[in-house]
A and B are shown apart, each in its own frame.
Chain A
Amino acid sequence: MERVTLACGNGASENNALIQRVFFKHFENQILIQGNDSAILPSLSKMAFSTDSYTISPLFFAGGDIGKLSICGTCNDLTMMGARPKYLSASFIIEEGFELKQLEKIAQSMAEECRKNGVLIVTGDTKVVGRGHADGIYINTAGIGEVIYEGLNPQSLQHGDVIIVSNSIGKHGASIFSQREGIDLVSHLYSDCASLFPLVQTLFQSNLTLRALRDATRGGLAAVLNEWARSSQTCICIDEKQVPISDEVQGICEFLGLEAYALANEGTFVLALPKSDALRALEILHSHPLGKEAQIIGEVGGEYKQRVILDSGYGTRRFLDMPSGEILPRIC
């Protein structure tokens, strides 16, 4: 078998072969291989539960692939709510004719990312649709995590709290954009796609007071800050000079007339915490490879409630708006 056929999704022998050959092989664990209708799990005290579906073009990109993304994404969502990722489900919608070799590569990256998070895939599903009815492969993952740090909530943001970003921004969005057909940019930029639990766990264990965490995925830094300003009824003021943006991201933004604030990240989060704990948090972040570029970028406070303000540092200010619509290159 070299390619996925419609028969692979019909529940019969071909379906079993695919599951055995690809998914059980890579995701193997005691719960999954029982192959029951549902997974029976030991109970956890307080749980976080999250789901997300993944579609991306190209499927394999600099810095990751759809498989890695599907594990990072859901595990990061659990992590951001103070949970340790424990169990995942994985569902695949595969286009007829999809190469098995590619599917294996995807499964491998999923397995590797599961190991990094210490998470198990305990249940799953595969469907195959006719050629042209899907763009290669779509993956849905849902996850359960055990809450190990309680009380994270953007509504608790207070005047004077400090905002930290864990990484330079826009790497995922810029690199995916540059690899799109028709854009044809050549860049050495990698997506920041990464599992954040190992890094964030060190923050949870540090006795710091954390108010809110959010990974800056679609909509980028701009979306997170605007959502926080709205839900906490505060104004967030960002010092433009302090926002870390790499040269590569800036270069792509120049080419396309975009701003890094609205570009997606897949391994970068925003943190709000009391000023007294900020430097200590920064130290912890800097000591981990995923947090090397972390920066304090601003604080909660200002006269425009529910808005985000960018301060240029030379006496001018502007709003940072909630990103909207399809991101299109500026031509004019």
Chain B
Amino acid sequence: MKMLELKQLYQGFRDPKSILAWSEKIKQEAKDLKCKIRVMEVCGGHTHSIMKYGINQLIEEVFEFIHGPGCPVCIMPKNRINHAVLLAQEENVILATLGDMIRIPSSKGSLSDARSKGADVRFVYSPLDLLKIAKENPNKTVIYFAIGFETTTPMSAALLERVEREGIKNILFHINHVLVPPPMEAILQNQDVHIDAFIAPSHVSVIAGSKIYEPFVSKYRIPTVVAGFEPVDLLEGLWMIVQQVKHREARLENQYKRSVSFEGNLLAQEKIEHYFELRESFMWRGIGEIPYSALRLKEKFAQYDAERVYDLPYEVVKEPKGCICPQIISGVAKPLSCKLFGIVCKPTSPIGSCMVSSEGVCNAYFRYGNLL
């Protein structure tokens, strides 16, 4: 066997010839299907890849893509972002978060606005950076505004483990970790959404295993394929869906075997289990309250929990007038049917959350266009 070079893990799965070969194969296989397969790519990373590489253009006659709720920034309800802004404005607080989160507008402005008014808001590449920030600022409280699905959750747990072990007193957590399967179920229960198959987020399953989808695949009998994020991965995953649809099967399949196992990363799961518990309910932007769909710190770690240490209000914040992000996130509508899209709502002046993040479907539509 030849030596596998790292570069092949990128280029091999973006190879134009393989992209064309798979799309031809999909079109061949799907020749006899009577109508398009409505597939939801749950994950914002998949949405990004589909738009960036033009996968939708290649197999337009076979698939209609329904974009799912898997962008942690897009589904964050305004109430939670308000928490972040309020915390950032507290005296002697440094608020740290990841990437796009600082741009999301809310009723109290965005974190980026708060920063321009003097709040100390920092974006970090890794939660580990908080250790350094906390040590350099012993008189300040450093709050990690933690976002993300199963993929990003164990890193918050690992940070808290370090904080405990090193006896660090000035790091707190505001936990907004959410789970992938509950919104998938919620979407299937919505009468207005019709979905034939799922492309499931694979980096979530690197941590949580492909096992997390099994209960609902058997319950709802819907073809579900865990697929990687490179264009060739996605196409291979879509081919698997065509096979299942053709043979009237509804199975859980794993295209991304090089990184995803059925069990996932057990150590990461243990750490999540140790520190976190399910919330009874969590408000998802666009979808509404979903029971047992998010995590919080367990009671015994209350001293590290910014939600318990600070008095933060719970308020329901209305969506901006005319914005259809809620319908888009729940798979009922697409960006082009929004009256605000591209006119008043743009990446430079986002109204809704889907326009902010590079994962957001409106942002992807705006940036890459829908050049069929």
- Is A321 in contact with B57, judged by CB distance below 8 angstroms? no
Known: A325-B347, A331-B98. Is A315-B20 also a contact (CB below 8 A)? yes
- Is B371 in contact with A332, judged by CB distance below 8 angstroms? no
Mark out the residues of chain A between 305 and 331 whose CB falls within 8 Å of any chain B CB in the assembled complex.
307, 309, 312-319, 321, 324-326, 328-331
Nearest chain B CB to A254 CB, angstrom units: 7
- Is B369 in contact with A329, judged by CB distance below 8 angstroms? no
The 8 Å CB contact of A332, one of B16, B71, B366, is B71
Closest-by-CB residue of A relative to B349 is A324
> Does B19 sit within 8 A of A, measured CB to CB?
yes
- Is B54 in contact with A318, judged by CB distance below 8 angstroms? yes
- Is A332 in contact with B359, judged by CB distance below 8 angstroms? yes
> Does B13 sit within 8 A of A, measured CB to CB?
no
- Is A330 in contact with B20, judged by CB distance below 8 angstroms? no
- Is A317 in contact with B371, judged by CB distance below 8 angstroms? yes
Closest-by-CB residue of B relative to A312 is B54
Query: How many angstroms between the C-alpha atoms of A318 and B366 in the bound complex?
Result: 10
- Is B123 in contact with A328, judged by CB distance below 8 angstroms? yes
- Is A184 in contact with B125, judged by CB distance below 8 angstroms? yes
- Is B52 in contact with A318, judged by CB distance below 8 angstroms? yes
Report chain B residues within 8 Å CB of A256.
125
Report chain A residues within 8 Å CB of B358.
257, 330, 332
Interface string of A250-292 (1 = CB under 8 A from B): 1000101100000000000000000000000000000000000
> Does B53 sit within 8 A of A, measured CB to CB?
yes
> Does B102 sit within 8 A of A, measured CB to CB?
yes
Chain A binding surface SS class = loop
Report chain B residues within 8 Å CB of A321.
347, 366-368
Interface residues on A, range: 20 to 34
Closest-by-CB residue of A relative to B17 is A314
Report chain B residues within 8 Å CB of A309.
371
Report chain A residues within 8 Å CB of B347.
321, 324-325
Report chain B residues within 8 Å CB of A182.
122, 124-125, 129
Report chain A residues within 8 Å CB of B20.
314-315
Known: A325-B347, A325-B348, A328-B99. Is A315-B125 also a contact (CB below 8 A)? no
Nearest chain B CB to A78 CB, angstrom units: 30
> Does B314 sit within 8 A of A, measured CB to CB?
no
- Is A317 in contact with B54, judged by CB distance below 8 angstroms? yes
The 8 Å CB contact of A316, one of B57, B71, B125, B367, is B57
Mark out the residues of chain B between 277 and 322 whose CB falls within 8 Å of any chain A CB in the assembled complex.
none
Query: How many angstroms between the C-alpha atoms of A332 and B72 in the bound complex?
Result: 8
Nearest chain A CB to B293 CB, angstrom units: 18
Report chain A residues within 8 Å CB of B122.
182
Query: How many angstroms between the C-alpha atoms of A316 and B44 in the bound complex?
Result: 20
The 8 Å CB contact of A312, one of B17, B53, B72, B103, is B53
Nearest chain B CB to A171 CB, angstrom units: 19
A-B contacts counted at CB < 8 A amount to 86
- Is A318 in contact with B72, judged by CB distance below 8 angstroms? no
Report chain B residues within 8 Å CB of A312.
16, 53-54
Query: How many angstroms between the C-alpha atoms of A329 and B100 in the bound complex?
Result: 8
> Does B45 sit within 8 A of A, measured CB to CB?
yes
Report chain A residues within 8 Å CB of B226.
none
> Does B269 sit within 8 A of A, measured CB to CB?
no
Interface string of B40-71 (1 = CB under 8 A from A): 00001100000111110110000000000001
> Does B237 sit within 8 A of A, measured CB to CB?
no
- Is A319 in contact with B99, judged by CB distance below 8 angstroms? no
The 8 Å CB contact of B152, one of A241, A313, A324, A331, is A331
Report chain A residues within 8 Å CB of B44.
332
- Is A328 in contact with B129, judged by CB distance below 8 angstroms? no
Report chain B residues within 8 Å CB of A183.
125
- Is A314 in contact with B51, judged by CB distance below 8 angstroms? no
Interface string of B186-221 (1 = CB under 8 A from A): 000000000000000000000000000000000000
> Does B172 sit within 8 A of A, measured CB to CB?
no
Report chain B residues within 8 Å CB of A319.
367-369, 371
Q: What are 27 A-B pairs at a CB distance below 8 A?
A: A184-B125, A241-B16, A309-B371, A312-B16, A312-B53, A312-B54, A314-B17, A315-B54, A316-B53, A316-B54, A316-B58, A318-B51, A318-B54, A318-B371, A321-B366, A321-B368, A325-B348, A328-B99, A328-B100, A329-B99, A329-B125, A331-B100, A331-B148, A332-B44, A332-B45, A332-B71, A332-B72
Residues of B within 8 A of A (CB): 7, 10, 16-17, 19-20, 44-45, 51-55, 57-58, 71-73, 98-100, 102-103, 112, 122-125, 129, 148, 152, 346-348, 357-359, 366-369, 371
Please name 18 further chain A to chain B contacts, defined as beta carbons within 8 Å, in addition to the given A182-B124, A314-B58, A328-B100, sorted by A numbering. Answer: A184-B125, A241-B16, A256-B125, A314-B20, A317-B54, A318-B54, A318-B367, A318-B371, A319-B367, A321-B366, A321-B368, A325-B347, A331-B98, A331-B148, A331-B152, A332-B45, A332-B73, A332-B359
